[in-house]
Every structure is written in structure tokens, then in C-alpha cells.
């Protein structure tokens, strides 16, 4: 028998239980993705799952959306506060999305399900998942309006409410059964543009938590009295390891500042400032000096700011530390009330979850670069490039409303030892790009052009990743379009002498792709049939002196069309050997396009 842990559980049993909890969370996520109804969940995987103990502290998570996972504990705490465990029956579940009561932004619906013991008398854990619904009402199809000024315009706001009610019946596998409250479901479906899609995605969320409840009860049956103390020790173990990692960083205060371009309402250069203090085995992240909350929809509630901060600290510590509540205990977040990183209601917040979370990540990582320079990558694209389109789809027997939402990948920052990845979702967003075939099948839209942007990665010994160009045509109807993006004015920063990544842009283009009109980064308008909107996403910053980049790496980029000869000369001083690169190869990026689909 191996040595017992401080909790009195032997280390082998601890590891079996820990891995069992993580397997439960991953199976929950697989259920949610496989049973999801909308492309946003089943294709883009804009969802997350986790397990929490009886006290509402996270014990395991699936490796999915960082912006969800650090924030979901706030939702579970809000659910437990509204419905204490003793008030919950087997088969119950609680639904919420209110950003000011544990949520993030309104499209993210969180479902929290208690897991009871065999007698049905005591809550032993909670299963929770969060899914981004492609529409939750509000002023604009897709519920990501770039022009909102208060939360009431952003969609249906749901405080913690009992969504499932236990029936008192038990399924064949011994798990309690619940039934969805039709009054609550009807209220939700009456306020959205795509009710059947919402019904399907909510059913997937119910199924995911049912999977978690069933599998965790199996763990409880197998390990009995060892389970509860093991869960405590798993969190304590992660805390000890996180404290050891922080203790290895040099003590001191590290400052960094960046800014959001604007809020879409004429307020520009909105500062996000941080002073990060390492003191022994603890770290304090203070956002004093950050801009006051603003009229536009880029305010990030505290749960989102904390989530981005936890993620950034995790990035510079050992990735093998089990991710749970214990990781967060040594990290204190100071976010002044009434700022864009902790706004007061009724602030518009839909873009805070999407855009401000990315800038919080940028500044916390920028500060950490002072303490651990080799562990931090240059800035990634720093935006999620939110695109929504909505209208009426007339392709079927009957015209039906639709709401399309996606975020778009861009460049990851260069890092010590390697170039940044091209055309991927960065930091807070860990979703996938919507496949063109799926988009064109599900919606009256067409992808006219989809490619990497040459020269968009910041120069450096290790080049920043490339951004994307994605042109979308509206087919056969007038669509309501909204763009909510960042880094159209500012650039992703480089590190250790690396250059900045290219900023983003958006245009209306003609049939041959030529630019007709440049669009603001935060913009809402109607697009007539045949209109093509072209979104260009930022590249990542470079890492290290460009003079140190090997010639063979430059030549590879030229062959793949990631770099043009002009930029190779201007940024890297590369002259010899350019003539040896075939002109066709230098402009043919086809070999690199597949990277944008990964």
C-alpha cells in the first residue's frame, strides 16, 4: 500500500479518484458536443463542463474554454446561494445567465445539477456546464450587439431559476429522474429568434449533466468513505503545487498596460492596467488604474476578469498541476468597482466576456513576462472577432428565422523556441473556426474566400502566427450584421525584441474581393442580398530579435506564402536567395490553409 495523504487516503486511491473526476468532466463535454443542436456547440464547441464538490468548489474540468472555466465557479456559487443544497431534490437543476449574479454574458447559459447520495438526502457534488447559445434575444440576432449600451438590450436575463424538477422516480441505472419545467422553458423560447435550436441545445446541456451525475455516483459507489476526503486533498495538492510554482518566481511588483481600441460609442484608448505582485508563494493582481466602465458593451464582470487572470497565471506555471479550486487560492484579484473590469449594473457586458477578457490576458501575461520572460509568449491576436448575422432563411418549404454567430481565429504570439500558430483561437477562446461546409448548409450564407493573411505575423526570431481573411456573402435576403472586434487600431505586442503583429480590419468588398468600404471594429447594420463582408483578423506578435531568425525559416515562409519577398527584406534584411524562390511558390499559400481549419 502506498503512503497515505494528509487526508488519510493512500496516494494511489487519490490519483484514481482524481483521474476519475477528470474523466467524468471530459465525458460530460463529449455528451454536450455530440448532442448539441447548433453549429456553435456541435462544430465550434463553444461550451465547457466541470465538476464541483458539495461546497461548490471546482474539483475537475474538461479542457475546453478558458473564459468559461475560471468564471463558472461564480455561477455555481450563485446557484447554491439561491438554492441551498438542502432545498434541492434529486433530479433538480438550476439555470442562470445573469452576468451580475455569477454569469459572464447573456448568451452563456449555465446549468448546475446537484448530485445526491444513494439515499437522496445529501448533496455530495454538483455537475455544471456552460454553453454559448447562438441567440438569447435582445436587439440583434445572435445577441452580440456591438451597439448595446445597457444589459437590457443584450437579451433575456435569467437569474438562478430551477429548470428541472425531480420527479421522485429513479431510472433503471439508479439515478434520479427530473423533468424540465415547461413554464421556464416556454418563457425562454418565447424570447429568442430560434426557439427549436435553443430547445435542442438546452436538452444537450441537461444530457451532459445527467452523464456527470451518473458517472460521479459510480465513483462514489466505488470509493465510499474515501471520496469526500480525497476531493479535499486533490484541491490541497493543487494548491501546494501552485504555491511552489509561484515561490519560484522572483518577488517584486511587475507592471504592464495596454488598451482597448474603443467601446463603439466614441470612447477610445480605454486603459487596462495591472500591477502584479509576487510575494513568496502568493500573487496579487491589481487592476487599479484601469478605465472606468463605459457606455459601450465592452465591460467585463468580475467573474470574467478573474477567469482571465487565473488563466494567465496558469500559463506560466506547471501545466500538469490538476486544474481545480486549489490552483486559485494563492491568486488574489483586485478589480476596482465601476471599471471596465468590474462594472456596476446595468452596464452592457456582452463584449467584456469576449474582448476585454482577451486584453486582461494580454496585460497579465505582459506583467508576468517581467518575472518569467522565457515562459511567456508574445501577444496573440487579442480579440475573438465576433461576427453575427441574422434574418430569414427562405431555402426551405417555409421561411424561418436564423441567427448565425461565430468567433474567428487569428495569430498566436511567437514564443521562446517556436513560431506562433496560424489562424487559431487564442487564449480565452479555445473554440474552432466554423467549417465552410457547415456554415453554407446551415445558413443562407456563402464563404467566398478563406485564407491566411501573408505578412500578418510579427517579425522575430520566432515569428508571430498569421491572421485570417474570411469573406462571407449574404444570399437571397437582407441580413442584420454585427461585428464586435478589437485590435483594429492597436497591434499585438512583441516580446524580447520581436515586432508587433498586424492589426485587424473589416471591409465590404465587391465580387472580386476589392475593398469598397472599411467598417468600424464595432458595427451593426443591414446587409442587402449579395453583400460580401470581409473580416481580416490580427496576427500575433513576434518573439526575439528578427536578425536572429534563421534563413531557412524565412525561406520556408516564402515558399508557403506566409511571407512576401518585400517584407522578408524590410523586416529581416533578407536579400540573398530571394531570386531562388519560385514566384508561384512565394504567392501560393494553399499548403498553409489547412492550418486555419485546425
Domain boundaries, the chain: 11-238, 377-598
Q: Is residue 389 classed as helix, strand or coil in its secondary structure?
A: strand
**Is the confidence at residue 522, as pLDDT, over 50?**
yes
Tell me the pTM: 0.92
Alpha helices in 286-434 (DSSP H): 302-315, 325-328, 350-351, 357-371
> In the beta sheet, which residues pair with residue 475?
none
* Cα distance between residue 163 and residue 122, in whole Å: 20
Please, which pLDDT band fits residue 3 given cuts at 50, 70 and 90? low
Please report which confidence band the pLDDT of residue 271 belongs to, taking 50, 70 and 90 as the band edges: very high
- Cα(562)–Cα(585) distance, rounded to whole angstroms? 10
Whole-angstrom distance, CA of residue 115 vs CA of residue 542? 47
Q: Does residue 349 surpass a pLDDT of 50? A: yes
Q: How confident is the model at residue 4 (pLDDT cuts 50, 70, 90)?
A: low
Query: Across the strands, what pairs with 112?
Result: 94, 128
Q: How many of the other CB atoms lie within 10 Å of CB of 345?
A: 15
Strand partners, 566: none
Please give the Cα distance from 193 to 391 (Å, whole number): 9
- Terminal CA-to-CA distance of the chain, rounded, Å? 44
Cβ neighbours of residue 19 under 8 Å, at least 6 residues apart? none
The CB density around residue 121, as the number of other CB atoms within 10 Å, is 9
- Spell out the residues 6+ positions from residue 358 whose beta carbon is closer than 8 angstroms to its own: 308, 380, 382, 383, 384, 426, 427, 428, 429, 486
Q: How confident is the model over 499-518, as pLDDT tens digits?
A: 999 999 999 999 888 999 99
Q: How far apart are CA 584 and CA 110, in angstroms?
A: 50
pLDDT band at 538 (very low <50, low <70, confident <90, very high): very high
pLDDT digits (tens, 9 = 90+) for 174-191: 788 899 999 999 999 999
What is the per-residue pLDDT for 321? 93
What pLDDT is recorded for position 468? 98
pLDDT over 90 (residue 592): no
Q: Is the pLDDT higher at 46 or at 260?
A: 260
User: Would you tell me the crossing angle of helices 302-315 and 72-82 to the nearest 10 degrees?
Assistant: 140
Given the DSSP bridges, would you call strands 268-279 and 252-262 parallel, antiparallel or unpaired? Answer: antiparallel
- Does 255 score more than 80 pLDDT? yes
Structure confidence by residue, pLDDT tens digits, 391-449: 999 998 899 999 999 999 999 999 999 999 999 999 988 888 889 999 999 999 999 99
294 pLDDT more than 80: yes
Give me the pLDDT at residue 66, please: 74
Q: In b/e form, how buried is each residue of 360-378, taking b as 16+ CB within 10 angstroms?
A: bbbbbbbbbbbbbeeebbb
> Which whole number is the average pLDDT over 311-332?
94
Residue 149 has pLDDT above 60, yes or no: yes
d(CA 95, CA 207): 14
Amino acid at each position: 500500500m502506498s503512503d497515505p495523504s494528509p487526508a488519510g487516503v493512500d496516494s494511489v486511491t487519490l490519483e484514481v479518484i482524481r483521474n476519475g473526476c477528470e474523466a467524468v468532466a471530459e465525458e460530460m463535454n463529449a455528451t454536450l458536443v455530440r448532442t448539441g443542436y447548433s453549429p456553435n456547440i456541435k462544430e465550434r464547441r463553444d461550451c465547457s463542463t466541470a465538476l464541483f464538490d458539495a461546497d461548490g468548489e471546482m474539483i475537475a474540468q474538461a479542457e475546453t474554454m478558458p473564459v468559461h472555466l475560471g468564471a463558472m465557479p461564480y455561477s455555481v456559487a450563485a446557484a447554491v446561494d439561491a438554492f441551498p443544497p438542502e432545498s434541492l431534490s434529486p433530479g433538480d437543476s438550476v439555470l442562470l445567465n445573469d452576468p451580475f449574479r455569477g454569469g459572464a454574458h447573456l448568451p452563456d447559459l449555465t446549468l448546475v445539477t446537484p448530485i445526491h447520495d444513494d439515499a437522496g438526502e445529501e448533496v455530495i457534488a454538483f455537475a455544471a456546464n456552460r454553453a454559448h447559445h447562438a441567440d438569447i434575444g435582445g436587439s440583434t440576432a445572435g445577441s452580440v450587439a456591438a451597439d448595446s449600451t445597457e444589459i437590457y438590450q443584450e437579451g433575456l436575463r435569467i437569474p438562478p431559476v430551477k429548470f428541472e424538477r425531480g420527479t421522485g422516480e429513479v431510472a433503471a441505472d439508479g439515478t434520479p429522474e427530473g423533468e424540465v419545467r415547461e413554464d421556464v422553458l416556454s418563457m425562454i423560447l418565447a424570447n429568442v429568434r430560434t426557439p427549436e435550436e435553443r430547445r435542442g441545445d438546452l436538452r444537450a446541456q441537461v444530457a451532459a449533466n445527467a452523464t456527470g451525475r451518473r458517472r460521479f455516483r459510480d465513483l462514489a459507489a466505488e470509493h465510499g468513505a474515501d471520496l469526500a476526503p480525497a476531493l479535499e486533498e486533490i484541491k490541497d495538492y493543487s494548491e501546494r503545487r501552485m504555491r511552489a510554482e509561484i515561490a519560484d518566481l522572483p518577488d517584486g511588483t511587475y507592471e504592464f498596460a495596454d488598451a482597448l481600441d474603443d467601446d463603439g460609442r466614441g470612447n477610445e484608448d480605454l486603459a487596462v492596467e495591472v500591477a502584479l505582485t509576487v510575494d513568496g508563494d502568493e500573487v496579487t493582481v491589481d487592476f487599479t488604474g484601469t478605465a472606468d466602465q463605459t457606455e459601450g458593451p465592452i465591460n467585463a464582470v468580475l467573474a470574467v476578469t478573474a477567469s482571465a487572470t487565473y488563466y494567465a497565471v496558469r500559463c506560466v506555471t506547471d501545466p500538469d498541476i490538476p486544474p481545480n479550486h486549489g490552483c486559485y487560492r494563492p491568486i488574489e484579484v483586485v478589480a476596482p468597482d465601476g471599471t471596465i473590469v468590474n462594472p456596476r449594473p446595468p452596464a452592457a457586458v456582452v463584449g467584456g466576456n469576449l474582448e476585454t477578457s482577451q486584453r486582461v490576458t494580454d496585460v497579465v501575461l505582459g506583467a508576468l513576462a517581467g518575472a518569467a520572460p522565457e515562459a511567456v509568449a508574445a501577444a496573440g491576436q487579442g480579440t475573438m472577432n465576433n461576427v453575427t448575422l441574422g434574418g430569414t432563411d427562405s431555402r426551405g418549404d417555409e421561411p424561418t428565422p436564423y441567427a448565425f454567430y461565430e468567433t474567428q481565429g487569428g495569430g498566436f504570439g511567437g514564443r521562446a523556441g517556436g513560431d506562433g500558430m496560424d489562424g487559431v483561437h487564442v487564449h480565452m477562446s479555445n473554440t474552432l473556426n466554423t467549417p465552410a461546409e457547415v456554415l453554407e448548409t446551415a445558413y443562407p450564407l456563402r464563404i467566398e474566400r478563406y485564407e491566411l493573411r501573408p505578412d500578418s505575423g510579427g517579425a522575430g526570431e520566432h515569428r508571430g502566427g498569421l491572421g485570417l481573411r474570411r469573406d462571407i456573402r449574404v444570399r437571397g435576403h437582407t441580413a442584420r450584421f454585427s461585428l464586435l472586434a478589437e485590435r483594429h487600431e492597436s497591434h499585438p505586442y512583441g516580446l524580447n525584441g520581436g515586432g508587433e503583429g498586424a492589426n485587424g480590419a473589416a471591409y465590404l468588398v465587391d465580387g472580386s474581393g476589392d475593398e469598397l468600404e472599411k467598417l468600424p471594429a464595432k458595427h451593426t447594420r443591414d446587409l442587402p442580398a449579395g453583400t460580401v463582408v470581409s473580416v481580416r483578423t490580427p496576427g500575433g506578435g513576434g518573439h526575439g530579435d528578427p536578425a536572429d531568425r534563421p534563413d531557412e525559416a524565412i525561406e520556408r515562409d516564402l515558399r508557403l506564402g506566409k511571407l512576401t519577398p518585400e517584407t522578408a527584406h524590410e523586416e529581416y534584411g533578407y536579400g540573398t536567395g530571394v531570386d531562388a524562390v519560385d514566384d508561384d511558390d512565394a504567392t501560393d499559400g494553399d499548403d498553409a490553409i489547412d492550418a486555419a481549419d485546425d
